[in-house]
Structure 1
Amino acid sequence: MSDTFIIEVGSQPAGIIVRCPDGYRFFAASHRFDRLEGQLFRNPREAERAARRLASGMPLAA
């Protein structure tokens, strides 16, 4: 399994996530996704869902 993933919302890059011992850490690619900067996610899908929620204006907390 890869250690780094690019997260996109539509055709816009949201950021990358990098595997670390505690999960996957998010690094924002644009100011639009700064609220996710440094957050840990259990897996790439969880990070992508958070980026999509943020982009659509939905609250990040589920």
Structure 2
Amino acid sequence: MSDAFIIEVADETAGIVVRQDREKTYRFHASLPRYFPLDGKIFSAPRDAERAAQAYSARNSKQKVRAAA
């Protein structure tokens, strides 16, 4: 049996994290291309994955603003 949790950032589904059977960690599976760099990363808890996705989104938003300026 596995446990899965949806990871959302700014009202969009960034991906899910899944814990398989006896594992103590969660693997991130991206659902949107912008989160592909996080795909396959391991987190100790779903909240850690959510924070990472939020931070990644914020970094990319700042880079887009700089590129447009």
Give the TM bin, normalised by the shorter chain: 0.7 to 0.9
Identity over aligned pairs, percent: 47
Select the structure that is richer in helix: 2
Distance 2:13 2:58 in 1: 14
Residue type at the aligned position of 1:31? P
Asked whether the 8 Å contact 1:22–1:40 carries over to 2, the reply is: no
Deviation beyond 6 Å, 4+ runs, structure 1: none
* Aligned twin of 2:6: 6
The alignment covers a number of residue pairs equal to 57
Distance 2:52 2:39 in 1: 11
Unaligned runs of 5+ in 2: 61-69
RMSD over aligned CA atoms reads 1.6
* Aligned twin of 1:55: 57
Q: Normalising to structure 1: TM-score of the pair?
A: 0.85
Give 1:1-62 correspondences, 5 Å limit.
3-20=3-20, 21-57=23-59
Q: Normalising to structure 2: TM-score of the pair?
A: 0.77
- Over alpha carbons, which structure has the higher Rg? 2
